[in-house]
Structure 1
Amino acid sequence: MSTMKIPYNRVHARGDVLFAARGGKIHSFSLHDGKHISTWQHPDVEKVADVVKATSKAQNEATVAMEVDDAQGADESEPPAKRQRRQDDDDADNAPAGDSETTAADAATQEKDKVHNNGEGKEEGKNKNKNKKGKFESKGHHFARVPDRPVITQVTSTADGRHVLAVSGHDKIIWVFEHDGQGRLTQLSQRTMPKRPSAVTITPDSQIICADKFGDVYSLPLIVIPRSPSSTSRLSTPNPVSTRPSVPAANTLTVHSKRNLEALNHQKKQLELAKQKRGDTAKADGPDFELTLLLGHVSMLTALVIGESEQRRYILTGDRDEHIRVSRYIPQAHVIESFCLAHEEFVGDIVIPASRGEILVSGGGDEELFVWDWKAGKVLSKTSVLSLARDIAPETSKVAVSGLYTLLYPSESGNLTYVVAISEGIKAIFSWQLTAENTLNNPSVMELPANPLHLSASAADNNAPPKLFVAVDPRQTPQAKSLHMFALTLNDGRLTVDTEPLIHDESLEAAEMEASESEIRSLLYTVENLRKQTGGGEGAGLEGAEADAAEIPATEDQE
């Protein structure tokens, strides 16, 4: 099985610094000269590296032992005496998955014993040394399971760039860093969320709004305030159930419409069920940090933005069930302002275009992008993504929009607003100009050397055009780099790109861990999996959260 370096999968430009995440690391680069500034590393990176190294060594030793035994014992009529099970074998079975110093080393011995005790020949040994889950086994023993690889799934920052936020998906942790403005990060806090975050944003009032894969939206303060003057710990891990409030923020006196009363009753039922499940096991003092449940969908959440209209804020959320909901901001997040309903497939991402606060653009599994008056829940226009994708990949039959972005391009007549999109598995960036009539015109296809995973645009500075920073997956194009920088130019209203010098990350590339192509795909290609299966297959006939649970890949965290 071929392996390759884990590519960059998240990029975020802020000021003169580019933050780029690959695996469990966040690197920072100068936008002046492309030089590397610093690296933050998730604590689990070294653990995974140690286990992978030890397991690989054990597998190699076992393979050598098998080959030697086949060569020397092919004519033997009797196998050697069966090795007795020892107490330390039991200990190995019960050792934790991450204990590489014991389980991986024992695995090599166990594999050798299996070969000596197996009189059925080399071919059957090959077939029996793996179980259905891919673990190497040896008559009740197995190699150490490699821990889940740490992968940074979200990176964002405050508007002033003083704080950077990241999410590691495998352990559901939100990390907050202080940024010195020069690319160096100082970790301030880490907070484990009840469910895996799928989208996060930071509000102007220093609140983190977090949507998760089970449909809930929470708020938590950006900066952790110790619970008592004597508390100095910045590490906090809540009881997942106890993070929900004991009573809804609303009541029948503050909610009047039939729809919102139904939402309130649903929230009360959820709280009651949570209370019953919690029983006496909940902590009396609650979680170690402030966490407030704001609202919930009955489907996996995929997108989240904060909108503003007439000096009032709103929370806009998109889900797998084709819905976009507009809810009021804290403390009235239980009040639904409107729905944007026109998608027939999952919503992959939503964006409020720069300088056009009451307009929303959405895309996902449908063929088109939709332009909305989001407060009124009205479609203003739509444009085809599939037709553009077919310009460079004629065989394309469907698209899965994985990212939507917005930028301003300076011109003699003023700043022009553009919407930029990427689609999973399509080697291109698509862009449109958003006109004053709220239509997407001047479509452009900017081809890439490999599949895009994420992109970020720098802000236009001193009337200089913005730049695009793109993380790509070079698996099918080994000579391509994973991190690219492009200068934007305007040609008859259409955006085009000119390649800029690459970010200088050669030494980082050499030190990066390797993974199999299938593993990289399972980690980084998740958008098309949101498309619901039809035709009566597994999960057919289910609805809402039940269908989500049935269709989430086996690797998905179900907690």
Structure 2
Amino acid sequence: MKIPYNRVHVQGQILFAARGGAIHTFSLTDGSHISSWKHPDVDKVAQSIQAINEAKAEAALAAAEADTPATESEGPPAKRQKLEGDSENPSVSAQAEAEASTPATPQSGDKPQAGHVDGRGKKGKGKGKEVVDSGKSRFARVPDRPVVTHLTSTPDGKHLVAITGHDKVIWVFEHDGNGQLKQLSKRTMPKRPSAVAIGPDNQIISGDKFGDVYAIPLIIPEDGSKSAASLSSLPLPSKKAFKPTATPLTVHSKGNRLALLNQIKQAELAAEAQAANSAGPDFELNLLLGHVSMLTALVLGEQQGRRYILTADRDEHIRVSRYIPHAHIIENFCFGHKEFVSEMAIPPSKPDVLISGGGDEDIFVWDWVSGKQLYKSSILSLAREIAPETATVAVSGLYTLLYPSADGPLTYILAICEDIKAIFSWKLNDSNELHCPGIIQLPGKPLSLAISPSTNVDDHSNAAPPTVIAAIDPDADTKAQSLHAFRLTMNNGRLAVDVESSFKDKEVEANEPELTEEDVRGLLYTVESLRKVVTGPDDEAGSEAPHGNAESDVAADNTGEGEE
């Protein structure tokens, strides 16, 4: 199967659609393809897979030739060449080598693959092309497959910001307004970004998997000057060098002395690495605030002339912090979720309202300024209408939509969930309650939505309805396309599909490599994995972080080496 589109974003009459490690632009007018940008690692992955497949074919051919018995016409059997590592059964050795060269399935988690243990108990080290020791020979592994995880743009549409997770890079592109992109910068963050927003002062606000929120300038100043964000920066977390408590005078056995020498050598290497990296990144990077848990969502809000950063994490917390230069000040929390929070949205028509969802069975409505819960509506009950066996839901997208009417625009909330083939919708009324629940069934599992707003917005009575662009993982038997556009209509207050159209991407899809379903799930289905697994009473008691230590805003000391 081909990797589907996994992220879409609309700016004006241009659709930005990410498919794996590439970004494609389409015209919303006629659905035509305009341009493409491709991550440099896309070609590296393709070349590695081709080389490994060729090596596997050669190994299989050699094994077949070695096992072919000689005939009488060929004379006495030739002496079989001894293969290293297996003197009795060379075909088994060749098969083991071929298996060792099988590409590794890319993982969606944050732990790097360095030190991966293969099926034979041997560890390979390295980054990019990982080397695997099969016990008989060494093979290069396939580099991590690049995937664009986030897409957003500036309000004027002149710049596009993208994130690729495998290399922790934030990309900034210049957009000419007609679908042509020009890469301006590539900046590697300390940890893998998990959320992004663009501030009104041309700052990229990025949260990462370790719970930290950073600000970097959208455009790198040519003169190297610092922006206003530097006024709010907190000290970047530093790792303390390991110092052994033992000395050669306090250990006596040969084994302990050897272990001490190894510890001292490791400490020296760590000190050298820390000294080499003491200068930090080569671009302006300002730490604004930190959570003690994985950050999952980030939005920017404004009330009474004051701006705020709203952040959510895996520990069910929603925090409201002030914006630059006072991001270290926590305004309040929104408590009520029992499971992880994965998505948040603030309707433009109701800037004092926050919509949130995640692993709970409900969608929540908040007065985020005061931290008060206003309403909640079950999304699990809607999911069970089309998939009765559904036990839990994992919200993977929340969006706001303005539908034109004679009395002014009506505010709707759209939601999608992992593995549920539908778009759920509610009408947000004047009392900030969710009513008129609706279901739009899809020919596949939705991965991302984008809203193309109504035209002729000055005259709401004559404005055309908005269009929803959906990136879906289509069912294999339906042969549906991955990009769909749905022009909406309203029926008794509920949203429904009026006209469905698609985009002209056959040439784009033809150039995409084939992936297994397991590979696609490992790359694109990552929300449900945020759910905590409770294995016993002790785990249940200790799985929930304490609510609201608002006096401390410094994230936990990120000294672990296993996650990047």
TM-score, normalised with respect to structure 1: 0.80
Corresponding residue of 2:10: 13
Corresponding residue of 2:154: 158
Corresponding residue of 2:401: 407
**2:315 touches 2:339 (CA, 8 Å); kept in 1?**
yes
Matches within 5 A, 1:61-80: 61-72=58-69, 80=80
- Partner SS state of residue 5, structure 1: coil
Corresponding residue of 2:267: none
Q: 1:476 to 1:182 in 2, by over 3 A?
A: same
2:361 to 367, 375, 396: 367
Corresponding residue of 1:183: 179
**2:484 touches 2:502 (CA, 8 Å); kept in 1?**
yes
Q: 1:120 to 1:540 in 2, by over 3 A?
A: farther
Corresponding residue of 2:118: 133
Corresponding residue of 1:55: 52
- Distance, in Å, in 1 between the alignment partners of 2:77 and 2:293 is 62
- Partner SS state of residue 281, structure 1: helix
Corresponding residue of 2:339: 345
Corresponding residue of 2:563: 558
- Distance, in Å, in 2 between the alignment partners of 1:21 and 1:201 is 17
Q: 1:118 to 1:28 in 2, by over 3 A?
A: farther
Q: Which amino acid aligns with 1:203?
A: G
- Distance, in Å, in 1 between the alignment partners of 2:52 and 2:13 is 42
Corresponding residue of 1:429: 423
> What is the RMSD of the two structures over their aligned residues, measured on CA atoms?
3.0
1:320 to 314, 323, 326: 314
Corresponding residue of 2:371: 377
Measure how far apart 1:20 and its partner are: 0.3
Corresponding residue of 1:195: 191
2:210 to 206, 209, 214: 214
Higher mean C-alpha displacement, 338-347 vs 132-141: 132-141
- Distance, in Å, in 2 between the alignment partners of 1:293 and 1:492 is 48
**2:427 touches 2:436 (CA, 8 Å); kept in 1?**
yes
**1:471 touches 1:482 (CA, 8 Å); kept in 2?**
yes
Q: Once the two structures are aligned, what percentage of the paired residues are identical?
A: 55
- Partner SS state of residue 59, structure 1: helix
- Partner SS state of residue 515, structure 2: strand
Measure how far apart 1:141 and its partner are: 1.6
Give unpaired runs (5+ residues) of structure 2.
Answer: 101-116, 120-130, 243-269, 457-462, 546-560
Q: 1:73 to 1:483 in 2, by over 3 A?
A: farther
Measure how far apart 1:474 and its partner are: 2.0
**1:79 touches 1:118 (CA, 8 Å); kept in 2?**
no
Measure how far apart 1:533 and its partner are: 0.6
Q: 1:537 to 1:182 in 2, by over 3 A?
A: farther
Q: 1:377 to 1:523 in 2, by over 3 A?
A: same
Q: 1:296 to 1:364 in 2, by over 3 A?
A: same
- Distance, in Å, in 2 between the alignment partners of 1:71 and 1:539 is 58
Corresponding residue of 2:484: 484
Matches within 5 A, 1:374-523: 374-462=368-456, 463-477=463-477, 479-523=479-523
- Partner SS state of residue 486, structure 1: strand
- Distance, in Å, in 1 between the alignment partners of 2:97 and 2:306 is 63
- Distance, in Å, in 2 between the alignment partners of 1:508 and 1:410 is 35
- Distance, in Å, in 2 between the alignment partners of 1:7 and 1:397 is 26
Q: 1:121 to 1:499 in 2, by over 3 A?
A: farther
**2:454 touches 2:464 (CA, 8 Å); kept in 1?**
yes
Q: 1:228 to 1:214 in 2, by over 3 A?
A: closer
Higher mean C-alpha displacement, 390-399 vs 533-542: 533-542
Matches within 5 A, 1:58-137: 58-72=55-69, 80=80, 82=82, 117-120=86-89, 126=95, 130=99, 133=118
Corresponding residue of 1:336: 330
**1:170 touches 1:557 (CA, 8 Å); kept in 2?**
no
Corresponding residue of 2:42: 45
- Partner SS state of residue 139, structure 2: coil
Q: 1:439 to 1:55 in 2, by over 3 A?
A: same
- Distance, in Å, in 1 between the alignment partners of 2:476 and 2:537 is 31
**1:214 touches 1:299 (CA, 8 Å); kept in 2?**
yes
1:460-481 alpha-carbon deviations (Å, 9 max, x no partner): 1112111111111125445111
**1:350 touches 1:362 (CA, 8 Å); kept in 2?**
yes
Corresponding residue of 2:264: none
Q: Which amino acid aligns with 1:39?
A: S
- Distance, in Å, in 2 between the alignment partners of 1:271 and 1:288 is 17
Measure how far apart 1:397 and its partner are: 0.7
- Distance, in Å, in 1 between the alignment partners of 2:238 and 2:98 is 48
- Partner SS state of residue 311, structure 2: strand
- Partner SS state of residue 488, structure 1: strand
- Partner SS state of residue 72, structure 1: coil
**1:380 touches 1:439 (CA, 8 Å); kept in 2?**
yes
- Distance, in Å, in 2 between the alignment partners of 1:481 and 1:125 is 41
Corresponding residue of 1:358: 352
Q: Which amino acid aligns with 1:293?
A: L
- Distance, in Å, in 2 between the alignment partners of 1:77 and 1:419 is 76
1:385-433 alpha-carbon deviations (Å, 9 max, x no partner): 0000001001101100011000100011110000000000000000000
- Distance, in Å, in 1 between the alignment partners of 2:508 and 2:94 is 39
